Structure 1
Amino acid sequence: MNAGERREEILQLARTQGEMSVETLSEMLGVTASTIRRDLAKLTDSGELARTYGGVLAVPTEAETTLAERSHEAPEVKRAIGSWCAKQVPAGSHVLLDAGTTTAQVARGLRETSPLSVVSTGLTSLQQMADLQGVEFTLLGGRYRPVSQGFIGPITEAGLEKFTFDFAFLGADAVTAEDGVCEALPEQVRLKELMSRRATHVFVVAHAEKLGQRPFHAWADLGSGWTLVTDDSADPAQITPFEERGIAVVRVDQMGNAVQN
């Protein structure tokens, strides 16, 4: 296997298996770690791989949809999910809201609850709560992503580490029971993992069409102590894998009420 073939094999492994370490690639391909590092340098320089703390990830080949495009996906379902989530938050709580359209609906539902302390990484939540007197709102800065109207990166993470929360509501491009929350970039999943560690109660909000999907190759492992909130069109085949791994699942109807799984 020449260098070109080896790099193509590295790309295929990263696309199918997710994050890959230098040591794992060295063992699988039967070459030295220094050879793998040179290959990875070439692939990251060309934009085909992205570096992570543990190794590398394939850069997504699908285009990430913009927030404006996502706002037209299942708006009534997202509103119902947001309504149910907001009902779980008592007055006086400290709440963390991720960027995204569904978490914006959580913010919308929280307009009726005060006082609250709210921290968010997204402009959409700020837009929902900017005029409220009973909410102490903190927007975390960092590197701004127009596609999501949210902030990521080291500055965002450093700000987040100054807080703890009663409730965290996280969005997702997709969710699987095996790998957790799927996002387009490693920085996004690293931020979500940090969010989950800073909160007592963690909810991932995702409508049924996102369950079991794998649009990208960056994954946040949240462990088992979180709750998936989805809509009542999710069928048992989608829900059972989560429950088997100790993840609570709440299905919400169009009125924002939980229904039996």
Structure 2
Amino acid sequence: MSRESRERRSAIVRMATTSGLASVDELSSTFGVTASTIRRDLAQLESAGQLARTYGGAMPVGPGQEVSLRQRSGESFEAKRAIAEWAAERIRPGESVLLDSGSTTGALGRELRGARDVTVVTTGLTVLQELADSELHVECLGGTLRHVSQGFVGPLAEAALERMTFDRVFLGADGVVADEGICEADLQQTRLKEIMARRAEHVYVLVHAAKLGRRPFHAWARLPRRWTLVTDAEADAASLAPFEEQGVEVAIAD
């Protein structure tokens, strides 16, 4: 990375911290670079845990600070939509699928509104909201609501999972590392994700490129031997190589 890039990214963090929100257009004009350069800067800063992407810009994040689902809802919107479309195409009539809480799985719920003969089970309020007016059979895992992630966790959700099996499970993540698994802010979340993965025949982790190799917290969910990483076209070869070396199937949603 050039000195100019380092100085620009440091300045972006300072601006976001001062104003609470920095837009791509504002940053592009301020630093005299293209919007695509600013987006690359924001992706790198998010990967380093210094900023959280929002629709059109970014907001500051302190060390170890969990960003709420509401704040993340506009982050990498196009990437999440592409990932959700890819995931929806894998679901077949007659299948039972399990959807994690999160913004990307919420986008998948939106893609499934017109599906037929599919059972959707979820831990997330966003998925429930997307499917509330659909004709699908929808089940909600009960438990304790984590307001920040708008998802249910805890022993009630875990007990319900032990009575079900699924054709496919779609998991979200705050970060995913090839030899560690899914990184989250809360141990209850990671325990639940491990159970979710065990109860499904096919396991998918849906994350946009900025979350690859990211470890913002210290709670981890180990993944089964066989699983599929689904990410977007912004993922580069260096980010994907550790997953491929571990034998993970990698899918790029373009």
TM-score, structure 1 length as denominator? 0.72
Counterparts of 1:161 and 1:152, CA distance in 2? 14
2:103 matched residue in structure 1 = 101
SS of residue matched to 2:98: strand
CA–CA separation in structure 2 for the residues paired with 1:146 and 1:185 = 12
Contact 1:208 1:234 in 2 (8 A): yes
2: distance between equivalents of 1:227 and 1:249? 6
After TM superposition, list the pairs within 5 Å mapping 1:43-122 onto structure 2.
Answer: 62-122=64-124
- 1:33 aligns with none
The 3-state SS of whatever aligns with 1:250 is: strand
In 1, the alpha carbon distance for the partners of 2:76 and 2:219 equals: 24
Q: Secondary structure at the match of 1:193?
A: helix
Which residue does 1:257 correspond to in 2? none
CA contact (8 A) 1:170 1:204 kept: yes
> 1:116-155 residue pairs with structure 2 within 5 A?
116-133=118-135, 135-155=136-156
Aligned-partner SS, 2:112: helix
Q: Percent identity?
A: 53
1:193 aligns with 2:181: no
CA contact (8 A) 1:224 1:245 kept: no
Give 4+ residue runs of structure 1 displaced > 6 Å after superposition: none
Deviations 1:107-145 (A, max 9, x none): 111122211111000010011111112x11011110101
SS in 1 for 2:113: helix
Gap regions ≥5 residues in structure 2: 1-61
Q: 1:6-17 counterparts in 2 under 5 A?
A: none
State how far apart, in whole Å, the 2-side matches of 1:161 and 1:136 are. Answer: 19
Structure 1, unaligned runs of 5 or more: 1-59, 254-261
Q: Is it true that 1:215 corresponds to 2:224 in the alignment?
A: no
CA distance in 2, matches of 1:155, 1:125: 19
Query: What is the deviation of 1:61?
Result: 5.3
- Superimposed CA distance per residue, residues 173-232 of structure 1 (whole angstroms, 9 cap, x where no aligned partner): 000001000001111111000000000001000000000011000111103310000001
Q: Which amino acid aligns with 2:164?
A: F
Q: What is the aligned-residue RMSD (CA, Å)? A: 1.1
Residue 165 (1) aligns with residue 166 (2) = yes
Matches of 2:63 and 2:221, distance apart in 1 = 19
Indicate yes or no: 2:246 matched with 1:245: yes
CA deviation map 1:34-81 (0-9, x unaligned): xxxxxxxxxxxxxxxxxxxxxxxxxx9511100111102111110110
Quote the residue 1:50 is aligned against: none
- The answer as to whether partners of 1:90 and 1:113 remain within 8 angstroms in 2 is no
Structure 1 match to 2:228? 227
Higher-Rg member (1/2): 1
CA distance in 2, matches of 1:110, 1:200: 20
Write the letter of the residue equivalent to 2:162.
Answer: E
SS at match of 1:96: strand
Kindly tell me the number of residue pairs found equivalent between the two proteins: 193
Confirm or deny: 8 A CA contact 2:198 2:224 kept in the other structure.
no
CA distance in 1, matches of 2:191, 2:88: 25
